[in-house]
Amino acid sequence: MTDANTERFALRLKGISKTFGGLQALDDVDFEVRAGEVHCLAGENGSGKSTLIKIITGVYQPQKAELFELFGEAVRSISPTGARNRGVSVIWQDLALFSHMSVRENICFDDMVGLTPKGVHYGEMDRKARAVLERLGVPLELDIPLEALSIARRQIVAIARALMNDARLIFMDEPTASLSRSETDHLLDIVRKLSADGVAVVFVSHRLAEVLEIASRVTVLRDGRLVGVYDCADMTQVRLGELMTGQLIENKVVARDRVDAPKVMEVRGLSRAGEFENVSFDLHAGEVLGLIGLIGAGRTELAHVLMGMRAPTAGDMRVEGRPFRPSSIRDAIRQGLAYVSEDRLSLGLLQKQPIEDNTVISVLHKLLTRLPLLSMRKRDALVRSWVDKLGVKIGRPSDLISTLSGGNQQKIVLAKWLATEPKLLILDSPTVGVDIGARAGIFRIVRSLADSGLAILLISDEATEVMFNSDRILHMAEGQIVAEYDPRKMTVPELEERVYA
Amino acid sequence: MHNLLNNRKTEIRLGIVLLAMIVGLSLGSDSFFTLNNLTSLLNNNAINLIWAVGLLVVLIAGGIDISFAVASSVVQYLAVQVLRQIGGGDWVTGIVVCGVIGIALGLVNMFFIYRFRIVSIVVTIATYNAYFGLLMFFSKGRNIYNLPDWLTDRVVMFEYEAADGTWSELTLAVGAMVVCVVATWLLIQRTNLGRQLYAFGDNPEGARRAGVNVAAMQALAFGWMGLMAGIAGLMQANIVKEVVPNALIGREMDVLAAIVLGGARLGGGKGTVLGCVLGVMFVAVTQNGLNLLGVSPFAFKMIIGGAILVAISTSNIDFADLFRRRQEAAK
């Protein structure tokens, strides 16, 4: 291998292995990133992606490494600061920024790290931060606290911070998980700009569509092993999903006519000033009604009104023919509604509580003995029945919910709500941060729930998700229902065109 | 300018309330806005302010400390023993000895918090009890009167005798307080160490990943608090000219409440020296005002407690927003 050849690589790894306890997290994995390339690292949770990133950035040391080269130089061992000095930056999914500190300090923070006392020059910081934001083409106010920015903007701050360290290889961990479509497009533009500047970007994402859109090559890991490296040009979403999970995940339109079934919910002219207006629809027993729209279209606000969390300013709702005007979320639950919220991690689950308590939190009143004290026996039986019914993979019911994978956590959220025996289930972006394999599992459950007569309102901004899991599709934009589609008379590109255009 | 106002909302609001109180008291009482009253207000609150800036640093780093007032008493007791051993010493040795003992007591807190990963409130409640228990045990609760001469000498920074014979002065404690306040401001606002403290309090995991030395940050925060407790202990001994083991215990909660009032966040990452000073002065002026207005001292705690509750519960209300909503409703 000549020097001229090795220089073209930002990163070369061969034969990387790492075990934790008895668990083989990485087994003889090779990974190469070319300079200036947009590369995707794909794999389900637990496939070894994060372990690999942590080895490259010095958080973990590999047990075995046949070759470890950064920008053509052999690496013996590397620390997090060492990795940063060599031009490697990671933008973690949680961004690792400081919400009460100013934008300028977040961008320039790494300059301040260290125990040698140094003065802080805010003017110089401003100058540097402005220069790097200019390079990205995004002007941001520098002296406002980070928490005043949207998630998308914070992402830009994180990228700017990486560039401040002269990063030539940037890892982005699920950067688009909480971005809307237009924000994602903007981010992808910035990634392209970086790549044109010679900065290599490694993209880790569950969203296969955008992976294929942005990356030139994709490395697929499964169960700690390398499946292969592929050109994105001749890759399809279905094929990539198959490589990641080892099973063929078919996307099929499953829509059926349920409009003759009894109406579970009727909504007429429902409005809430400033959020949405004149929303009308019927939802029938056993029907999955997809509600697609961009973030900010009023989808979640509508769900909040249906659940009694906020009052509508106009319009009528009926549940099973009776007028429905919930005064609180408890009232809505009592009348047969259930709501799986969009922010599972913070709103849907009590992360520091065990699985069993998370499962029964919505139905504690059903678990009382005559005394009224909680019956542990009743609780255990209920938890066991839901874990079995939904096929949740858990260790013990007393383990913390945070020990479960995203997909299994989402199933526990479902169990919690199904335990209230609802007639209508609202699912708000149910698969954010969930593996494609686990997604299929969740939608199998959704389908069987619908078959058993439950009415389901499926809110999402992903066209494929709505397309292949709904019986009818409502399209919401700028607070209004603008169209109704039949998935059987539509294709995904057509739907994407209408929703995202 | 707009941003500056937004970022400093708590401080500005508190400043306005404080100013209104000062104007009100000046009009309502002849003796409030006098040199004599204002200087004694500073003299009486210098110790609280020294503690407050120390505690502010701990709060910014995401911790809390209950033990600092007791620590000051321990510093006084130990320092007097040490100074006697070395033959009395002087101001310089006194400050060094008190500073070192204070820092050591702070580092004890840091050690348990960092090494055993215990939440700071639990550790400092434990050391609060342990420090006080040890102090009472060894001192047998007795006061120490024979302090070195230099320590009991009155050091006056400023004095003024009015025509009517009222005497106004600023004690050394006020000077020490000003130095501590400025030093703390420099540390947290103008050095990379201080900014790392904010970052560590804001997002510990993010700071760790960025390479911030977590142990050093904890040591800096609790060490600084300890240093302030040491200086406060020395200054208080100078003011009262004796060491009373149980003189300071119980004052920690007032200081904590005053800082939180000034916008520091119990959870870390937020707080300013200005807000901290305003918070302490708000409590001080309230108490002083009640005194001058002839309110029964038995009602002080109740009224100050109520004032803090009102101040804190209204601090999240956006008055501009309320006004807007009312306008909308009127339409």
Determine the pLDDT at residue A365: 84
CB B229 within 8 A of CB B54: yes
Domain-located, residue B314: yes
Q: Which two tokens stand for residue A263?
A: 């109406």
Cβ contacts of A144 within 8 Å, gap of 6 or more: A102, A103, B3, B6, B7
* CB contact (8 A) between residue A98 and residue B269: yes
Angle (nearest 5°) at CA B52 between B48 and B58: 150
Confidence of residue A146 (pLDDT cuts 50, 70, 90): very high
Mean pLDDT in residue range B195-224: 94
In the predicted model, is pLDDT for residue B110 greater than 90? yes
In the predicted model, is pLDDT for residue B331 greater than 50? no
Q: Which residue has the higher pLDDT, A94 or A101?
A: A101
**Measuring CA to CA, how many Å separate A392 from each of A339, A405, A410, A415, B40?**
19, 10, 9, 9, 68
Q: Which two tokens stand for residue A291?
A: 């509600």
Determine the pLDDT at residue B316: 62
Q: Report the amino acid identity of residue B117.
A: R
* CB contact (8 A) between residue B270 and residue A100: yes
Please provide the average confidence, as pLDDT, over all residues in chain B: 90
Confidence of residue A345 (pLDDT cuts 50, 70, 90): low
Determine the pLDDT at residue A208: 81
Is B200 touching A (CB cutoff 8 A)? no
* CB contact (8 A) between residue B210 and residue A113: yes
Confidence of residue B317 (pLDDT cuts 50, 70, 90): low
Q: Which two tokens stand for residue B35?
A: 């040199």
Mean pLDDT in residue range B57-63: 96
Determine the pLDDT at residue A1: 42
DSSP 8-state symbol, B246: T
Is A99 touching B (CB cutoff 8 A)? yes
Determine the pLDDT at residue B57: 98
**How far A113 CA sits from the closest chain B CA (Å)?**
6
Confidence of residue B187 (pLDDT cuts 50, 70, 90): very high
pLDDT in tens, A265-289: 999 999 999 899 999 999 999 999 9
**Cα maximum dimension of chain A:** 80
Q: Where are the alpha helices (DSSP H) in A89-167?
A: 103-112, 122-136, 151-164
Is A144 touching B (CB cutoff 8 A)? yes
Please provide the average confidence, as pLDDT, over all residues in chain A: 89
**How far B174 CA sits from the closest chain A CA (Å)?**
27
* CB contact (8 A) between residue A115 and residue B195: no
Is B327 touching A (CB cutoff 8 A)? no
* CB contact (8 A) between residue A99 and residue B203: yes
Residue A361 CB neighbour total at 10 angstroms = 13
Mean pLDDT in residue range A241-247: 86
Which of B190, B203, B205 faces A120 most closely, judged by CB atoms? B190
Which residues of B are less than 8 Å from A99 in CB distance?
202-203, 269
Q: Which residue has the higher pLDDT, A201 or A76?
A: A201
In the predicted model, is pLDDT for residue B199 greater than 80? yes
Is B217 touching A (CB cutoff 8 A)? no
Which of A80, A117, A145 faces B209 most closely, judged by CB atoms? A80
Which residues of B are less than 8 Å from A115 in CB distance?
193, 213, 216
Confidence of residue A20 (pLDDT cuts 50, 70, 90): confident
* CB contact (8 A) between residue B211 and residue A110: yes
CB B58 within 8 A of CB B64: yes
Confidence of residue B2 (pLDDT cuts 50, 70, 90): very low
* CB contact (8 A) between residue A80 and residue B211: yes
**How far A97 CA sits from the closest chain B CA (Å)?**
6
Mean pLDDT in residue range A290-302: 88
In the predicted model, is pLDDT for residue B327 greater than 60? no
In this structure, of A1-15, A229-243, A473-487, B179-193, the range with the lowest mean pLDDT score is A1-15
Domain-located, residue B329: no
Give the number of beta-carbon pairs within 8 Å between A and B: 81
Domain-located, residue B330: no
Mean pLDDT in residue range A89-97: 88
Domain-located, residue B65: yes
Confidence of residue A35 (pLDDT cuts 50, 70, 90): very high
* CB contact (8 A) between residue A98 and residue B199: yes
- Number of structural domains in chain B: 1
In the predicted model, is pLDDT for residue A7 greater than 80? no
**How far A210 CA sits from the closest chain B CA (Å)?**
27
* CB contact (8 A) between residue B206 and residue A96: yes
* CB contact (8 A) between residue A119 and residue B212: no
Mean pLDDT in residue range A53-68: 90
CA B278 – CA B272 distance, rounded (Å): 10
CA B65 – CA B218 distance, rounded (Å): 12
Torsion, Cα of A394, A395, A399, A405 (10° steps)? -40
Cβ contacts of A5 within 8 Å, gap of 6 or more: none
* CB contact (8 A) between residue B3 and residue A118: no
* CB contact (8 A) between residue B211 and residue A115: no
Starting at the edge strand that comes first in sequence, how are the strands of the sheet with A455-460 ordered?
Answer: A337-340, A424-428, A455-460, A288-292, A472-477, A480-485
Mean pLDDT in residue range A346-362: 82
Domain-located, residue B194: yes
Is A352 touching B (CB cutoff 8 A)? no
Which residues of A are less than 8 Å from B3 in CB distance?
141, 143-144
In this structure, of A65-69, A330-334, A407-411, B214-218, the range with the lowest mean pLDDT score is A407-411
**What interhelical angle do B273-292 and B172-190 show, nearest 10?**
150
Q: Is A9 exposed, middle or buried (0-12, 13-18, 19+ CB in 10 A)?
A: buried
Which of A96, A120, A145 faces B195 most closely, judged by CB atoms? A120
* CB contact (8 A) between residue A101 and residue B199: yes
* CB contact (8 A) between residue A100 and residue B202: yes
**Measuring CA to CA, how many Å separate B84 from each of A394, A483, B94?**
66, 88, 11
Residues 36..65 of A with a Cβ closer than 8 Å to B: which? Answer: 59
Supply the CATH number for residue B66's domain.
1.10.3470
Mean pLDDT in residue range B155-168: 86
**How far B212 CA sits from the closest chain A CA (Å)?**
6
In the predicted model, is pLDDT for residue A435 greater than 50? yes
For B129, the domain range is 2-324
Which residues of B are less than 8 Å from A100 in CB distance?
198, 202, 265, 269-270
Domain-located, residue B202: yes
Residues 1..40 of B with a Cβ closer than 8 Å to A: which? Answer: 3-4, 6-7
Determine the pLDDT at residue B68: 97
Q: Which residue has the higher pLDDT, B322 or A306?
A: A306
Residue in chain A closest to B207 (alpha carbons) equals: A96
In the predicted model, is pLDDT for residue A174 greater than 90? no
Domain-located, residue B331: no
Which of A94, A102, A117 faces B191 most closely, judged by CB atoms? A117
Q: Is A274 exposed, middle or buried (0-12, 13-18, 19+ CB in 10 A)?
A: exposed
Mean pLDDT in residue range B85-103: 94
Q: Report the amino acid identity of residue A92.
A: W
Mean pLDDT in residue range B135-147: 92
CB B198 within 8 A of CB B188: yes
Determine the pLDDT at residue A254: 85
Determine the pLDDT at residue A296: 78
pLDDT in tens, A459-479: 998 888 899 999 999 999 999
Which residues of B are less than 8 Å from A110 in CB distance?
210-211
In the predicted model, is pLDDT for residue A215 greater than 90? yes
Domain-located, residue B98: yes
Confidence of residue A2 (pLDDT cuts 50, 70, 90): very low
